[in-house]
Amino acid sequence: MLRRRLLCWRIYGMLFRKMRDSKAKPMTSVTALGNGAHEEAEAQQKATPSGSQTLLRGLDVLEAVAEGPISLAKLAQRLDLTRSTTHRLAAALVERDFLVLTPREGYQLGPKLLELGYLAQRQMDIPRVARPHIEDLAAATEDTVHLGILDGDHALYLDKIPGRRRIEIGSRVGERHPIASTGLGKALILDETEARWRHFFADRDWAMDDWPVWLKRMQAYAAGGYAFDLEENEDRIRCVAAPIRGANGKIIAAISLSSAAQYMSDARMQELVETVKETARQISRGMGWSEGGPRRR
């Protein structure tokens, strides 16, 4: 019995030493490699892009292709990436229909972007996007701000921020106002043809100006990207207006800054032009418009 126990202990001891040695060898080999292997492993880890970096590179690919069809070689060169990395990113975008690969022209924008663009346009609510900007404009100037769109042959008011001055401006959200006699209405049609301008002028219910005078003013407004209401729509009320543009560069809405004539001298109206235009530009950017994009029809 004693011999059996001694034999078992010897076997256990041999197995223990074998297992200990097998565990120690890999550690010894790693130690023997030294810092060189460790640094190489770190370099490989850094070379592999993180998830956020991969996403940003994919967006860079989309922006590059948005400039026009492009081959893989030129795309890699433009992004300063290897061909293999560029191909991997582009292939993933092709698989999800964000890009299309054609034999002759290379990569082009895919149908998925059309779908997302349509959904984004539907989700963009002009009053919601414009509200903080027109609130800031009203607070900075103490004047009343209107937001409106073209609705047939009239300007439909979507929002109104009253000014801090004790002035009653007879406009309400949901009302329709004439195009030719309001600053907001004129701003909505700055890109229209002269024939369309004549149509709106003929539809007016006022007779302050004749056609040549009104046309000359509209031409100046169109060139400057703004419009005035010189007490044409409401007695002793003046306003400065500017158009809001969408992603395609077309006018989709307009804003106007209104006050009593005593607070709206010719000099102040000229000073306010750039302020109102900048507010309109900020709203336009929120609606997808960009400085380098199309500006007119």
Within 10 Å of residue 158's Cβ, how many Cβ atoms? 18
> How is domain 50-118 classified at the CATH fold level?
Arc Repressor Mutant, subunit A (1.10.10)
Asked if residues 157 and 148 have their Cβ atoms less than 8 Å apart, the reply is yes
What is the predicted pLDDT for the residue at 7?
A: 39
What is residue 235's predicted lDDT score, i.e. its pLDDT?
86
What is the DSSP code (8-state) at residue 262? G
Question: How far is it, in rounded angstroms, from Cα 288 to Cα 250?
Answer: 11
Q: Would you list the domain boundaries of the chain?
A: 50-118, 124-286
pLDDT score recorded for residue 40: 47
Residue 79 has what pLDDT? 95
As a residue count, the chain comes to: 297
Residue 123's pLDDT is what?
64
Write the CB contacts of 2 (distance below 8 Å, at least 6 apart in sequence): none
Chunked in runs of 10, what are the mean pLDDT values of the chain (297 residues)?
42 42 42 46 50 90 94 95 95 95 94 83 81 97 96 92 86 89 96 95 73 94 97 91 94 96 96 98 94 62
Q: Does domain 124-286 have CATH number 3.30.70.141?
A: no
> What's the pLDDT score for residue 257?
97
Q: Give residue 86's pLDDT.
A: 95
Report yes or no on whether pTM surpasses 0.85: no
Q: Write the DSSP assignment of 3-43 as a string of letters.
A: HHHHHHHHHHHHHHHHHHHHHHHHHHHHHHHTHHHHHHHHH
Task: Write out the E strands in 162-234.
Answer: 176-178, 227-230
Per-residue confidence (pLDDT) for residue 121, from 0 to 100 = 67
Q: Which pLDDT value is given to residue 205? A: 64
Domains 50-118 and 124-286 share a fold: no
